[in-house]
Amino acid sequence: DKRPKRLRTVQDFITGNAKPRNETITERKKRHKRIYKQSPVLEVKGLEKTFRQGKQPHHVLHEINFSIYSGETLGLVGNSGSGKSTLGSCLLKLIQPDRGEIYYSGTKIDTLKGKALKQYRKDVQLIFQDPFSSLNPKQKVEKILTEPMLVHNIGANKAERIDRAAQLLKQVGLEAAHMNAYPHVFSGGQRQRIGIARALAVDPKLVVCDESVSALDRSVQAQILNLLNALKETYGFTYLFIAHDLEVVRYMSDRILHLQNGNIITLDEADAVYQQIRDHQAQKTS
Ligand code: ADP
Ligand code: MG
């Protein structure tokens, strides 16, 4: 029921570090007041998506309406197959919705072209679920981190980009020397850190985390969640945090959007949605 500013990791228990302080309800309310009085960074209006496999249409997203506000973590929960990743992919402009609009800072994203489209592709980044398949096994970490910078004209030359990559590695808790290694030498948690550094490399604003800790064991999950929150604090990111693990989403989120069979069931303050889902589950089992 508490929201510690940082989750305690195995290392904290071993070294006997003090318990991190909880964010109080008053602090949380004050923060929310500040976040939700702004105009949204992203607005989704009447989004519909149908996949067609053969002749059978499969309606995956129905009339999706919501907004994301700068500096919030919006949790997205729902059973497997409820349309979470499809919704994330629409926001990332990886797939095209059939109907509806997405506005980014007030501009429709399907009208973006040239420079503005490139800016959107830079501003909105994805951290994948599977750290084992989301990194190119044939690329050294240096290349993995500097390539997106090159695409988005970050850094004046190769030396500057390598320098930035070294800083990023340190920021995500790795070492500059890791630059010369290939992904296979790293553990799952370390690979996820590389994936995070890659997203950071282009200086994003909105980060979509799609099941970003689901493949990791609990103690490594805590480390990565702490890292995501620390980076958010430093850079002022906005997160869309997609996961099926309700406890994790509750801890991370300011608000939670609950998706069921492609419909929004609720969108509300995280604790309220958490309680609603738990009550509903308790009813079903009693
Ligand atoms: P979630 O991320 O919530 O588990 P998804 O968004 O991945 O759900 O999938 C929602 C539904 O859409 C699933 O039934 C899935 O099989 C279907 N689906 C997802 N992507 C495609 C695709 N490219 N082609 C056909 N069906 C798809
Ligand atoms: Mg998914």
DSSP string computed for 172-191: TT--GGGGGS-GGGS-HHHH
Ligand 1 atom nearest to CA at 82: 3
127 CA from centroid of ligand 2 (Å): 12
Kindly identify the ligand whose nearest atom is closest to the C-alpha of 82. 1
Q: Is the pLDDT of residue 131 over 80?
A: no
Hey, which of 86, 126, 210, 214 would you mutate to test ligand 1's pocket, going by the most ligand atoms within 8 Å of its Cβ?
Answer: 86
**What angle do the packed helices 188-200 and 158-171 form, to 10 degrees?**
130
> What is the 166 CA–ligand 1 centroid distance (Å)?
37
Residue 20 has pLDDT above 90, yes or no: no
In the chain, the N- to C-terminal Cα span, in Å, equals 23
User: What are phi and psi for residue 186, nearest 5 degrees?
Assistant: -95, 155
* Ligand 1 atom at minimum distance from 78 CA: 3
Give the mean pLDDT of 80-90: 96
129 lines ligand 1 (CB under 6 A): no
Looking at the chain, the whole-number percentage of residues with pLDDT higher than 70 is 100
pLDDT of residue 199: 94
Question: What's the mean pLDDT in 59-77?
Answer: 97
Between the CA of 260 and the centroid of ligand 1 the distance, in Å, is 13
Under 8 Å between Cβ of 182 and 190: no
For the cut 90, the answer to whether the pLDDT of residue 178 exceeds it is: yes
Chain-centre distance of CA 149, in angstroms?
A: 20
Ligand 1 atom with the smallest distance to the CA of 86 is 6
Write out the two tokens for 178: 């890791």
Please check whether residue 87 is in contact with residue 61, taking contact to mean a CB–CB distance below 8 angstroms: yes
Name which residue sits closest to atom 27 of ligand 1, judged by CA: 51
Q: What is the number of the ligand closest to the CA of 56?
A: 1
Q: According to the model, what pLDDT value does residue 17 have?
A: 84
Looking at residues 38-42, what average pLDDT do you find? 97
Rg of the chain over CA atoms, in angstroms? 19
For the cut 90, the answer to whether the pLDDT of residue 209 exceeds it is yes
The predicted structure's pLDDT at residue 130: 73
Q: Is the CB–ligand 1 distance for residue 86 below 6 Å?
A: yes
196/2: higher pLDDT: 196
Q: Does the CA dihedral 185-186-187-188 come out positive or negative?
A: negative
208 CB near ligand 1 (under 6 Å): no
Candidates 261, 281, 285; CA nearest to 273 is 281
| In the predicted structure, residue 113 carries a pLDDT above the cut 80 | yes
13 lines ligand 1 (CB under 6 A): no
Neighbours of 182 (CB within 10 A): 15
- pLDDT at position 211, please? 92
How close is the Cα of 243 to the center of ligand 1, in Å? 15
- Joined together, the tokens standing for residue 126 give 């994805």
Of 13-17, 87-91, 102-106, 118-122, the least confident: 13-17
265-275: average pLDDT? 97
245: nearest Cα among 197, 269, 209, 194: 209
Identify the pLDDT of residue 125.
96
Is the model's pLDDT at 54 over the cut of 90? no
Confidence category of residue 230, pLDDT binned at 50, 70, 90: very high
Q: Please compute the mean of the pLDDT values over residues 224-244 and round it to a whole number.
A: 94
User: What atom in ligand 1 is closest to the CA of residue 211?
Assistant: 2
State pTM to two decimals: 0.94
Cα(51) to ligand 1 centroid in Å equals 8
Is residue 226's pLDDT more than 90?
yes
| CB 83 less than 6 A from any atom of ligand 1 | yes
